[in-house]
Amino acid sequence: MMEFMNAKRFVVGLGASITAGAVTLVLNTVVLAREPFTKEELADQEKQLLAAVDHGRDLWHGSNPSMSSNGLACGNCHPDAAASNPHTFPKFQADLGRVIALRDMINWCISTPQAGTPLDVNSYDMISMEAYAFYLYRGKQITPGLATEQTAPVVVKSGVGYPKKPSGIGVDK
């Protein structure tokens, strides 16, 4: 935490020292935060988020063949991320016998129902899968641990990348 704070902090020091007269003057200006993001920066950040959501949407519909060896894609069982319930993670997952994050459940569904190769949890693909699921559930109350709720996602917002045709890989056309 301290390292983080120090990295963010800019200390502008203006010091003058008059040793002869034993007078020391030190003026420090401490800036604790950067300027607010500009509209352009915010627009760029939103664009990059939507690009990840868009990439996640492609993956969800079968664009990475290594994620499935039986022709199934996430969208076959979770259309529009339905019943993926990202807002309920982390939670205890009975098959794995431990508390897991959403990415662990995504990898469980890749390796179990889709008999595919799990994603590197730190990869852009995995971040995009999470971005897609969370984006479709935006506005939902965060309720970690809830094991019973089955909810539909929020309807897809029309915007950059939407609507888009599925890749056609797998049966999810």
Residues that bind ligand HEC (CB under 6 A): 67, 72, 74, 76-78, 83-85, 88, 95, 102, 105-106, 109-110, 113-114, 129
Q: How far is the CB of 112 from ligand HEC (least distance, A)?
A: 8
In the bound state with ligand HEC, the residue whose beta carbon lies nearer, of 78 and 140, is 78
Task: Label residue 105 exposed, middle or buried (CB < 10 Å: 0-12, 13-18, 19+).
Answer: buried
Query: Quick one: 36 exposed, middle or buried, by C-beta within 10 A (0-12, 13-18, 19+)?
Result: exposed
- If the CB atoms of residues 50 and 117 are measured against ligand HEC, the closer one turns out to be 117
The nearest distance, CB 89 to ligand HEC, in angstroms, is 7
- Minimum Å gap between C-beta 160 and ligand HEC is 22
C-alpha to C-alpha distance for 9 and 24, rounded to whole angstroms: 24
Q: Is 150 left (phi over 0), alpha (psi -120 to 50) or beta?
A: beta
Residue type present at position 7? A
Least Å distance, CB 165 to ligand HEC, is 19
Q: Which is nearer to ligand HEC, 50 or 77 (CB)?
A: 77
